[in-house]
Structure 1
Amino acid sequence: MADGGNTSLARTERGLTYPQPALPLAGQAVEVAEGVLWIRHSLPMALDHINVYAVADGEGWVIVDCGLNVDTTHAAWEQLFEGALGGRPVTAVVVTHLHPDHLGAAGWMCQRFGAPLMMSQLEYTSARMMVADDAMGPYAEAEAHYRRQGWADADIERWKSRFGGFAKQMAPIPRQYSRLSEGDVLDIGGREWTVIVGSGHSPEHVCLWRKDDNVFLSGDQILPRISSNIGVWSMEPMEDPLGDWLESLEDLKARLDPKLLVLPSHGEPFYGVIERLEALIRGHEVGLKRLERSLRQPCRAIDVFGALFARQIGPDLLGMATAESLAHLNYLERRGRVRRDRDADGVEWWTVVEDVQ
């Protein structure tokens, strides 16, 4: 086990304290709590890394999240198995949620060690369903959904050409798993970890809380510097994931110990969980107010990006940005604050119900 090369001191930024003076370098790990190693894998996208964790379990390790199923991730893991993890086997693989940077390499790792996969039921079944859906190719209902949001022909063709990306980033998902549910207690290395479930970013996101020393593996449910994507996708076009997300954040705010150490999937370990939960809630409330102001004139989902995002949205981010815009629009519609109308071409236009003061 080794830590990275940065020797700067722990620091405080925007009310959060970052206690680790170093990032793990490739092939290395940092012990962030007793028996818990912090590992980073690279991602080929704007969000360029994922944090995964190895928790000591007797003569082996429980791995929490796995990275993408790509050769570079496999190679990084092999280096870790022989180096920082000391040649000890993986006894179980816990996956916080279904997204490919978390679940992608899990099947590969489970097969390599004969280790069980542990996930919540909705995350596991949703992932299996999405892989099967990808195999069937683009479908008419999804195309109609995106055209309703204002996508042009070129956008639709780009979406069709890239369809199936979820499955392509996944090792075969094991056909057997061990279900994790709210309130379950896992014995890992003789210490108890309680399962805490959130939703909104994904349907049944698992977090793990070791209460005896206040260590909290948060996955994407609580991140220190960014807010997780909350999206409405073509499969469930009328749902309200932002409502689920805000409710989950309020629930965590009421339940969690303010002094716990948060180990997130992106960014760095930090203290200040209540301050961060409040900031996440406040950020969405501010975005919703800006969105309402922008809807004094009718807009499509693709017209409101400026109210919700600080950066320019290009073709590579169009799907995610459309999904997040719809999550905010559906949230406001459910609460009677905006309405949607369809024009003769079936395109949806949104308008605020009453002026924002």
Structure 2
Amino acid sequence: MSPAETPGMIYPFPEPPGFGELREVAPGLLWTRIPLPFRLDHVNIYLIEDGDGWAVLDTGIGNDPTREIWQKLVEGPLAGRPLTRLIVTHFHPDHIGLAGWLCERYGLPLLTSLSCYLGCLNISLKPGSLEAQPYREFYLRHGMATETADLVATQGHDYLRMVTPLPPTFSRVVAGDVLRIGGRDFDVLMGDGHAPDQIMLSCAADKIFLAADQVLAKITPNISIWEVDPDGDPLGLYLRSLRSLAERIDPEALVLPGHQLPFYGLQARCRELAAHHEERCRRIAEACRQGAKSIADLVPVLFTRPLDPHQMSFAFSETHAHVNSMVRTGELVWQRAMDGRMRVVLAG
């Protein structure tokens, strides 16, 4: 289905800007894209007019191509108007990866949530945090083959290292804050499920909603279980966040997401996303009617295409999130086999 055919959604900018090119999406609000070396090959960056300069929302990963784009922007179309501050929505490297470099090079204060700042320090920047053994044991316990676990626990997490060292201090942003940026007031909202305390900004007066990765136009944000919180319910938190956004954000608001195209029709997209996850839970339930299943058994039920180690790490963790949600609601129960591996069966 093409964007123009999606029921309830309108795409005012059917073509994105080129990498490092600027496009105005609202008065005093610019959109650009920065490339990513993954299947999802870009991240959206926004610049909000802030007095005589520009506030920056998110950064791209910490690599040389991203640095080069920022240098060209600052020395080219943004020349004469300084960057004023950096707002980071969440700790994933495509959004926070170049934060340390940008803050140091251009003297920017970093504004983000406590979860984002500490999560990045612990997951991406803490020495030893990505050692293979804890991840490998987690994957093995849930049915992954040894050779696959070896790849996923090493190559599959290279993405998390694409972060420059953060500044030693930051300004904490929490839900309920109001950020005055230029002539606009932005209400700070926080979402969960994709990343803890993901920051979103809503300007009700101008009907603008900067959604980060919480709501994307044509793909679903990754909702994952991590080994440090093995019994968590990120999918339940995500669905709760969707309901809250659908109630709070103006139906006529322009949605500016962290990937893909801006759009109108937040409520329609929230319904689609909720239905998508409900359908995936039904597929898991149907598979479990045939007997006990490990997380590894259920990955191909949800992801039918071949997966590289990077993709497998996300697919495995997202499958686990759906299972945990179904365990939380009582539809599935865990069973521990004699070999110590965990499987789920239908309750009752």
TM-score (normalizing by structure 1):
0.92
- Per mean C-alpha deviation after superposition, the further-off stretch among 82-91 and 242-251 is 82-91
Structure 1 residues 166 and 192, CA, compared in 2 at 3 Å: closer, same or farther? same
Aligned twin of 1:27: 20
Alignment deviations for residues 61-87 of structure 1 (CA, whole Å, 9 cap, x no partner) = 100000011100111111111222233
Taking the TM superposition and a 5 Å limit, the aligned residue runs for 1:187-198 are 187-198=180-191
Separation in 2 of the partners of 1:167 and 1:46?
15
Alignment counterpart, residue 310 of structure 2, candidates 295, 312, 316: 316
Aligned twin of 2:39: 46
Specify the code of the residue in structure 1 equivalent to 2:174: S
Specify the code of the residue in structure 2 equivalent to 1:190: G
Structure 1 residues 161 and 201, CA, compared in 2 at 3 Å: closer, same or farther? closer
Specify the code of the residue in structure 2 equivalent to 1:226: I
Moved over 6 A (4+): none
Taking the TM superposition and a 5 Å limit, the aligned residue runs for 1:276-295 are 276-295=269-288
Separation in 1 of the partners of 2:346 and 2:126?
35
Aligned twin of 1:151: 144
How high is the sequence identity, in percent, across the aligned residues?
Answer: 37
Aligned twin of 2:214: 221
Specify the code of the residue in structure 1 equivalent to 2:92: H
Taking the TM superposition and a 5 Å limit, the aligned residue runs for 1:86-101 are 86-101=79-94
Aligned twin of 2:65: 72
Alignment deviations for residues 36-92 of structure 1 (CA, whole Å, 9 cap, x no partner) = 000001110000111000101111110000001110011111111122223321110
Aligned twin of 1:124: 117
User: Is this contact kept in 1: 2:86–2:109, CA < 8 A?
Assistant: yes
Q: Are 1:17 and 2:10 matched, yes or no? A: yes
SS at match of 1:74: helix
Separation in 1 of the partners of 2:333 and 2:14?
49
Separation in 2 of the partners of 1:137 and 1:29?
36
Q: Are 1:60 and 2:53 matched, yes or no? A: yes
Aligned twin of 2:320: 326
Aligned-residue offset at 1:315: 3.4
User: Is this contact kept in 2: 1:259–1:272, CA < 8 A?
Assistant: yes
- Per mean C-alpha deviation after superposition, the further-off stretch among 150-159 and 85-94 is 150-159
SS at match of 1:303: helix
Aligned-residue offset at 1:124: 1.1
Aligned-residue offset at 1:253: 1.0
Q: Are 1:237 and 2:230 matched, yes or no? A: yes
SS at match of 1:144: helix
SS at match of 1:209: strand
User: RMSD in angstroms over aligned alpha carbons?
Assistant: 1.7
Alignment deviations for residues 11-30 of structure 1 (CA, whole Å, 9 cap, x no partner) = 45333100014321233110
User: Is this contact kept in 1: 2:125–2:165, CA < 8 A?
Assistant: no
User: Is this contact kept in 1: 2:59–2:98, CA < 8 A?
Assistant: yes
SS at match of 1:194: strand
Aligned-residue offset at 1:156: 2.8
Aligned-residue offset at 1:140: 4.3
Q: Are 1:256 and 2:249 matched, yes or no? A: yes
Aligned-residue offset at 1:166: 5.0
User: Is this contact kept in 1: 2:187–2:202, CA < 8 A?
Assistant: yes
Of structures 1 and 2, the one scoring higher in RCO (CA 8 A, sep 6+) is 2
Aligned-residue offset at 1:157: 2.3
Alignment counterpart, residue 111 of structure 1, candidates 90, 99, 104: 104
SS at match of 2:255: strand
Separation in 2 of the partners of 1:283 and 1:151?
25
| Equivalent residue pairs, number | 345
Aligned twin of 1:343: 337
Structure 1: 5+ residue stretches without partners: 1-9
User: Is this contact kept in 2: 1:12–1:18, CA < 8 A?
Assistant: no
SS at match of 1:276: helix
SS at match of 1:288: helix
User: Is this contact kept in 2: 1:11–1:19, CA < 8 A?
Assistant: no
Specify the code of the residue in structure 2 equivalent to 1:274: Q
Alignment deviations for residues 231-277 of structure 1 (CA, whole Å, 9 cap, x no partner) = 00111111111111011111111111111000011111100010001
Structure 2: 5+ residue stretches without partners: none
Specify the code of the residue in structure 1 equivalent to 2:300: G
Aligned-residue offset at 1:112: 1.0
Alignment deviations for residues 138-178 of structure 1 (CA, whole Å, 9 cap, x no partner) = 26443321111112221232244437635530111111111
SS at match of 1:311: coil
Aligned twin of 1:201: 194
Aligned-residue offset at 1:309: 2.8
Alignment deviations for residues 306-326 of structure 1 (CA, whole Å, 9 cap, x no partner) = 332353334332211110011
Aligned-residue offset at 1:133: 4.0
TM-score (normalizing by structure 2):
0.94
Structure 1 residues 118 and 330, CA, compared in 2 at 3 Å: closer, same or farther? same
Aligned-residue offset at 1:123: 1.2
